């Protein structure tokens, strides 16, 4: 039987990328005197690489092969980015996606266990939750560099399952991206995808169900792929 729900964060619990992380990255770049400016469109391409530090390295390798940058400098920029990100969330910048709070509340009432499996830095998860719900609703918050290989590797979901001492068959994962879906599926999890602007053209063939979002009573979700039987 179903015992736990495991959630991705960025793009799934909230639309944090375009108006959150991306804006914060650009603030960090300006503040460091760099002329990098990640447009909405470019950021969509950069999202192919998960993890903020890894994303900056990918950007340099791909678009600025002339620039040399130490890992320590990238780590410094990443830290500054996350501070800007936290400030942005404190201003109430980013709400949870439709249906998220409703589902979490219903799951708790049904005694389902809850966990988080994300590529983002732990502080970013706490910043998002602090402005929306109690972080103690989640018994495991697996985030960032806690595993060496980020999504699409299954490591972060494997880690959550090990922590919860649950077989994948008793859990359901929620994701928004192809990298996230691959990660969850490779950990053996049945996965529901809620798409967003950045991920709507990703391949979700292996998902159990693909939805526009989790919906609200006055604004039901659209079923993009899959059926509701079984
Ligand atoms: C999304 C990501 C993250 C965030 C930024 O991960 O790829 O890299 O864009 O986070 P998920 P950091 O959807 O799995 O939560 O800068 O803190 O790495
Ligand atoms: Mg995501």
Reported as half-sphere exposure (CB side, CA atoms, 13 A), residue 97 has a value of 28
Find the mean pLDDT for residues 137-163. 97
pLDDT at 199: 98
Res 230 pLDDT > 70: no
Record the tokens describing residue 16, joined without a space.
Answer: 């944090």
Question: What is the three-state SS of 165-204?
Answer: CCCHHHEEEEECCHHHHHHHHHCCCEEEEECCCCCCCCCC
What pLDDT shows up at residue 134?
A: 86
Distance of CA 12 from the midpoint of ligand 2 (Å): 6
pLDDT at 228 over 70: no
Query: Which residue among 7, 8, 9, 10 is best mutated to probe the pocket of ligand 1, counting the most ligand atoms within 8 A of its Cβ?
Result: 10
Position in ligand 1 atom list of the atom nearest CA 150: 14
Calculate how far, in angstroms, residue 47's C-alpha sits from the geometric centre of ligand 2.
9
* Alpha carbon distance 13, 28 (integer Å): 24
Ligand 1 pocket mutation, candidates 8, 17, 21, criterion most atoms within 8 A of CB: 21
Please state, in angstroms and as integers, the Cα–Cα distance from residue 175 to each residue in 11, 53, 142, following that order: 8, 21, 14
207: its two tokens: 């998902």
Does this model's pTM top 0.90? My answer is yes
**DSSP alpha helix (H) spans, 52-151:** 52-63, 71-90, 100-109, 122-130
pLDDT score at 184: 98
- Going by pLDDT thresholds of 50, 70 and 90, the confidence category of residue 93 is confident
Which residues are marked as active site?
8, 10
> Which ligand is closest in space to the CA of residue 191?
2
**156, 147 Cβ separation under 8 angstroms:** yes
User: Cα(64) to centroid of ligand 2, in Å?
Assistant: 26
**Domains of the chain with bracketed CATH:** 4-15+95-225 (3.40.50.1000), 17-90 (1.10.150.240)
Q: Is the peptide bond before 152 cis (omega within 30 degrees of 0)?
A: yes
Of ligand 1's listed atoms, the one at least distance from the Cα of 121 is: 17
Can you tell me the mean pLDDT for 71-81? Answer: 98
CA of 137 to the centre of ligand 1 (A): 21
CA 162 to the chain's CA centroid: 20
- Among 219, 179, 185, 189, smallest CA distance to 97 is for 219
Q: What lines the ligand 1 site, CB under 6 Å?
A: 8-11, 17, 21, 50-52, 78, 82, 118-121, 124, 151, 180
């Amino acid at each position: 039987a179903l015992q736990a729900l495991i959630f991705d964060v960025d793009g799934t619990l909230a639309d944090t990328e375009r108006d959150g992380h991306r804006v914060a990255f650009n603030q960090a770049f300006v503040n460091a005197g760099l002329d990098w400016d990640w447009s909405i469109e470019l950021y969509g391409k950069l999202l192919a690489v998960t993890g903020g530090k890894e994303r900056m390295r990918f950007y340099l390798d791909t678009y600025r092969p002339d620039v040399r940058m130490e890992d320590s400098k990238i780590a410094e920029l990443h830290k500054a980015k996350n501070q800007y990100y936290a400030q942005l969330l404190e201003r109430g910048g980013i709400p949870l996606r439709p249906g998220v709070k409703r589902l979490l509340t219903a799951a708790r009432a049904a005694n389902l266990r809850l966990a988080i499996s994300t590529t983002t830095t732990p502080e970013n998860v706490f910043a998002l939750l602090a402005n929306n719900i109690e972080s103690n609703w989640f018994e495991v918050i697996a985030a960032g560099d806690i595993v060496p290989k980020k999504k699409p590797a299954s490591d972060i979901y494997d880690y959550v399952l090990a922590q919860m001492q649950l077989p994948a068959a008793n859990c359901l994962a929620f994701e928004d991206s192809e990298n996230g879906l691959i990660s969850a599926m490779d950990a053996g999890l049945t996965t529901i995808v809620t798409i967003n602007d950045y991920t709507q053209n990703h391949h979700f063939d292996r998902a159990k169900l693909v939805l526009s979002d989790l919906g609200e009573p006055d604004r039901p979700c659209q079923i993009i792929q899959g059926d509701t039987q079984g």
